Homo-oligomer: A and B are copies of this chain.
Amino acid sequence: MTNTNQTNSSTRKRGRPPKSGLGYENTRDALIRCGMELLTEQGFINTGLDQILKKIKVPKGSFYHYFENKEAFGYVVLESYSDYFIHKLDKHLVHSELPALERLQHFMEDAIEGMERFDFKRGCLVGNLAQEFGCSHEFFKQKLEAVFNKWQQRIESCLELAKAEKTLAPDTDCKKLAQFFWIGWEGAVMHSKLNQNKQAMELFGEQFFKLLPRT
């Protein structure tokens, strides 16, 4: 997904060429990184373009060299975030030699550490955007649903593996259980951001494992 967008935005030549002292891709990457940081912390609506530009010292004209508008920028940031998170999920759930349920445990620990690193100020960008736009913005809605589906599929495969390893009851509906996990996990991230500590995420993980139907 990101590659397609990079191609699209590479064709954009409106606005001033970059004057940030960074190269083309570097400036674009810096904008996306800064967007990811601020949008996960304070949401899309609450983040002004000026704040992003000021932070990385890029003039407004240059921004429009890369992106049509704030919304188009939001999509690219969302896709970058989704890719980053898919990478994290695959690292723990796919490219691992551990038993399946330990993989899931490691993913959750990593996610908690990720939140801790930024004092629980940054939530989940996908959760933020879902709360902010949800039903009111058809294009964002479709993108967000697609991202959640991809994430859920990774969890589902991991749970299927646990079933094959006989650590999960053979009649478990892994698709439903994966949806249940992801629905709740988004709530846990939101609560941890609100309380500024890991208690909600840890509790959700602990209870989820405790309630899992075992063999």
Residues of A at under 8 Å CB distance from B? 41-43, 45-46, 119-121, 123, 127-128, 130-132, 134-136, 141, 144-145, 148, 176-177, 179-180, 182-188, 190-191, 193-196, 200, 203-204, 206-208, 211-213
Contact = CB atoms under 8 A, between A and B. Distances in A.
A176 B196 CA distance: 18
Contacts of A211: 211-213
A183 B204 contact: yes
Interface of A is mostly: helix
Complex copy number for this chain: 2
Given A141-B194, A180-B207, 12 more contacts: A123-B134, A131-B131, A131-B132, A134-B193, A144-B194, A148-B191, A176-B203, A179-B207, A180-B184, A182-B187, A183-B204, A186-B187
6 contacts: A134-B194, A134-B196, A144-B194, A180-B208, A183-B204, A211-B212
A135 to B, nearest CB: 5
Given A130-B194, A195-B145, A200 B183 contact: yes
Contacts of A141: 194, 196
